[in-house]
Structure 1
């Protein structure tokens, strides 16, 4: 299971467990929502430290792979996929249009 998905599922499970416990204690309405959110945030900060660090490392590793694989012509963007190539093509077309306007007749 991907690390990001695992962390997300653990976080949602913790939120659900705290919500059920708060409901069983008798909290309702806005208080239930506030207590559930606050307690689950605090517990996830403490209990999910390991999975959070694994997720962070996986994201950093992926960013480094993209940065190394960018190569020439990537325009400093990471990824180099179809979307970023499309952005580069659009930017080049806009630059060419600006150049034509500047070189046009003045008067």
Structure 2
């Protein structure tokens, strides 16, 4: 997450310098707004892999937490997908 934040800031400051050199020096508010908008668009496309990795980490962490909670309870939640799959398998005739 820290890496993503630093990269977002670098993109913003890069846009800020670029638009300052292009000629938006006189209107500071316009310079900030244009730089912010451009950095959001660039970050959306350039940092997609960073966001995907971060969301995978969050998903893994949540799955581990859910599994630990389930094991701590000592039983399978009757509303869970596992319980539904087990019930479906129990209803099938043996082949």
TM-score, normalising length: structure 1: 0.58
Aligned residues: 69
CA RMSD of aligned residues (A): 1.3
1:40-77 deviation line (CA, Å, top 9, x unaligned): 000011111111111111111111122222333xxxxx
**Matched residues in 2 for 1:12 and 1:23: separation?**
16
Paired position in structure 1 for 2:82: none
Q: How does 1:15-30 map to 2 (within 5 A)?
A: 15-27=12-24, 28-30=27-29
**Matched residues in 2 for 1:66 and 1:8: separation?**
25
Paired position in structure 1 for 2:4: 7
- Gaps in structure 2 of 5+ consecutive residues: 74-95
Q: Where has structure 1 moved over 3 Å in runs of 4 or more?
A: none
- Gaps in structure 1 of 5+ consecutive residues: 73-107
**Matched residues in 1 for 2:15 and 2:47: separation?**
14
Q: How does 1:21-100 map to 2 (within 5 A)?
A: 21-27=18-24, 28-70=27-69, 71-72=72-73
TM-score, normalising length: structure 2: 0.64
Give, in angstroms, the shift of residue 31 of structure 1: 0.6
